[in-house]
């Protein structure tokens, strides 16, 4: 879906989600279908591979994406086993909504796997944005393990052509979305992001 359509759908849904936000929760039960064991492994991406892919997917200079990737490597203490390249739209007015679509890449996959995400945040957060997103994924050993809810804390302050990074985590999997886009969205909020096989209207 075009980024303009993503942001418009997100902003339009904000009012309708206000009455439902009280039902949202960031406490997600462990999913027994995708247990994570310490002995599981998957081939990891090097920083050079990710810088090349991120520069291509986001349409920015390698130096710009390289700084963000190096920061994530330092924060997480190593290299990710997967990445997601996609785009999203978001809007917020006390209750914020975010919808996106992308492709999950892993070294041992013969082809990328489509993934959708949607989320709601509750807190002080204003404005809207449309972004391309390049997400580093840690602790993912099988592509189907991506489909779950990820609690996170996010505070963003977008500049035109700027980059933003935040973290989401659940059951040993850590996501680090790197965003570039237009518009302004500033604030601090606590919410959850749900990754699924198909697009969901409700962000829960």
pLDDT in tens, 124-177: 555 667 788 999 999 999 999 999 999 874 543 333 346 878 888 899 999 998
Q: How confident is the model at residue 26 (pLDDT cuts 50, 70, 90)?
A: very low
Model pLDDT, residue 24: 37
41-45, 83-87, 178-182, range with the lowest pLDDT: 178-182
- Between 181 and 195, residue with greater pLDDT: 195
Cβ neighbours, 10 Å, residue 161 = 10
Query: How far is 47 from 52, CA to CA, in rounded Å?
Result: 9
Contact criterion met (CB below 8 Å) for 182 and 109: no
Query: How far is 38 from 22, CA to CA, in rounded Å?
Result: 36
Domains of the chain, first to last:
3-17+41-196 (2.40.128.480)
With pLDDT > 90 as the criterion, what percentage of the chain qualifies?
A: 38
- The answer for residues whose C-beta is within 8 angstroms of residue 49's C-beta and 6 or more apart is none
Query: How far is 82 from 142, CA to CA, in rounded Å?
Result: 10
Question: Any bridge partners for residue 175, and if so which?
Answer: 137, 168
Per this entry, what is the length of the chain?
204
Cβ neighbours, 10 Å, residue 75 = 12
H/E stretch holding 58: helix 47-58
Mean pLDDT, residues 81-86? 97
Average pLDDT over all residues of the chain: 75
Model pLDDT, residue 163: 80
pTM assigned to the model: 0.75
């Amino acid at each position: 879906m075009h980024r303009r359509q993503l942001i418009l759908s997100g902003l339009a849904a904000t009012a309708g989600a206000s009455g439902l936000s009280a039902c949202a929760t960031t406490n997600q039960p462990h999913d027994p279908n995708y247990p994570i064991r310490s002995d599981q492994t998957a081939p990891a991406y090097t920083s050079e591979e990710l810088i090349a892919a991120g520069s291509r997917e986001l349409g920015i200079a390698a130096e710009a994406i390289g700084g963000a990737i190096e920061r994530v490597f330092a924060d997480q203490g190593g290299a990710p086993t997967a990445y997601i390249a996609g785009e999203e739209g978001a809007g917020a007015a006390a209750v914020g909504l975010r919808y996106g679509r992308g492709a999950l890449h892993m070294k041992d996959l013969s082809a990328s796997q489509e993934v959708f995400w949607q989320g709601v945040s509750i807190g002080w957060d204003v404005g809207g944005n449309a972004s391309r997103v390049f997400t580093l994924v840690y602790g993912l050993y099988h592509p189907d393990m991506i489909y779950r809810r990820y609690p996170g804390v996010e505070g963003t302050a977008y500049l035109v052509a700027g980059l933003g990074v935040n973290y989401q985590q659940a059951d040993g999997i850590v996501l680090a979305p790197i965003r570039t886009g237009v518009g302004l969205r500033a604030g601090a909020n606590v919410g959850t992001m749900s990754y699924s096989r198909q697009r969901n209207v409700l962000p829960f």
